[in-house]
Chain A
Amino acid sequence: MRKWILIIHLYSGLLCAPYLIIFGISSLKFNHRVKSEDATKELTNQWEQSLPLVPITNDTLTATSVRDSLGMLGWTMPWEMQRDTNGNLHFGLARPGKRNQVHVFVNENKVRVEEHRQSVGAVINSLHGLSGVPNSQLASIWGGYTEFCFLTAIFAAASGVYFWATSKRERRAGVAVLGGAIAFSIAFIIYIVIRG
């Protein structure tokens, strides 16, 4: 039994190692409010494409349809969606690594896309808990990897305590550390939630 738990702890840990590193790096950046990875204001690429368009009746549905027709990835941003006086639709499209501004010129059957690429740091932040991205099969696989790593982390924590508890080494020190840490953690979390 112990042998099999150790094998699972070890090899699932090796499979999740890079994800835990990503969790750690991104969490440090969130905690220290590192802002350098927000979308650069600088335009990195711009292109146009002809696209047969029908009169816009629903902005969100049109934006989604345009995104899919262009084969692009990402979420449409409702708060960046607007129509101008000519009836043209303008919306933002976001996904890990890129922010796009999409301009739909209804009367000209044309779409213009302004791309703003992000840094490696921003991509790492975005991968933190990512469960999928519209139109991206790779992101769906990453979402499955996210699930696996969540479950592995819980199992690794429990099995780690099991290994320590069933060995004779560091028993007293471990009891002191574990007992003290659990008591402090529970008290602190309850205090934060109830008393703020």
Chain B
Amino acid sequence: MYAIIRRIHLFTGLALLLFVIMYFITGYMLVHEAWLPPAEPKKSSRSVSIEYQGQPDSTEFTSYLEKTFGLRGSRSKPKHREDGTWEFEWFHPGTLYKAIIATNGKSATITTSDLGKVRIGYGLHRLHGYGGGWLYNVWAVIVDFSSLALIGFSISGIYLWHQSTNKRLPGWVCLAASFGFTTITVVYFLTAR
């Protein structure tokens, strides 16, 4: 059992090493945004003609926009705005595309935002969720594996420590301190004014 848990701890760590390090480094950048403030996004817009006949909220229309105008990224669900226009968005780390389709469906304004190099890191950290296209579904699967791995590292690590030594007092003190402090913090936020 020890050998199996150790191999899971080891090989999961080796397999997900780069993603886990990427998440912690980009997360650290987000927490300390003031150290490396991102530049203002650079925006450019263009007006285009739409030759597609069909429902604007269909996946075929989204594909038409992507292929015709080179819009790439994780696609969001189209929004029907109050003024009757449709809004489409695509995001990949560092770049945001927004297309506003006119009410008659025959033209669109496409805005491209270059979010800068620092926001590439933020974008990698925040990229999540299924339904953005096959590429982003693969990314979401990796996010799921990385998330499960963090839980697995903790639980398997505790098991490996417990099985590998008879001098367990220092370990129990560490666990009591960490889980105790976390519990106190959660209860504090649930009950404080």
- Residue ranges of A at the interface with B (Cβ–Cβ < 8 Å): 10-11, 13-25, 27-28, 30-33, 71-73, 95-98, 117, 120, 123-124, 126-127, 129, 131, 136, 138-139, 141-142, 145-147, 150, 153-154, 156-157, 160-161, 164, 170, 173-174, 177-178, 181-182, 185-186, 188-189, 191-193, 195-196
Contacts and interface: CB of A to CB of B under 8 A. Distances in A.
Given A123-B190, A127-B185, A174-B14, A153 B20 contact: yes
B157 A120 contact: no
Given A97-B192, A123-B186, A170-B7, A19 B90 contact: no
The 8 A-B residue pairs with the shortest CB-CB distance, nearest first, are: A196-B92, A196-B72, A97-B189, A24-B151, A24-B150, A185-B18, A27-B147, A14-B174
Contacts, number: 179
A157 B128 contact: no
27 contacts: A10-B171, A15-B174, A16-B154, A17-B154, A17-B157, A17-B158, A17-B179, A21-B151, A22-B182, A23-B147, A24-B147, A24-B148, A28-B144, A73-B193, A97-B189, A97-B190, A123-B186, A129-B31, A139-B185, A142-B185, A164-B14, A182-B18, A185-B18, A188-B139, A193-B92, A193-B120, A193-B124
B178 A19 contact: yes
Interface residues of B, number: 68
A69 to B, nearest CB: 13
A127 B186 contact: yes
A23 B157 contact: no
Contacts of B11: 170, 173-174, 177
Given A27-B146, A170-B10, A196-B95, A157 B17 contact: yes
Given A17-B157, A139-B185, A150-B24, 15 more contacts: A13-B153, A14-B158, A14-B178, A16-B154, A17-B158, A24-B147, A24-B148, A126-B189, A131-B31, A153-B20, A154-B25, A160-B10, A161-B14, A188-B139, A189-B18
Given A13-B157, A33-B129, A161-B17, A154 B24 contact: yes
Contacts of A188: 138-139, 142
**Chain A residues touching B, majority SS:** helix
A10 B135 contact: no
B16 interface: yes
B65 to A, nearest CB: 14
A83 B81 CA distance: 27
Interface of B: 7, 10-11, 13-22, 24-25, 27-28, 30-31, 72-73, 90, 92-95, 120, 124, 127-130, 135, 138-140, 142-144, 146-151, 153-155, 157-158, 161, 170-171, 174-175, 177-179, 181-182, 184-186, 188-190, 192-193
B184 to A, nearest CB: 8
Given A10-B161, A129-B27, A146-B31, A117 B135 contact: no
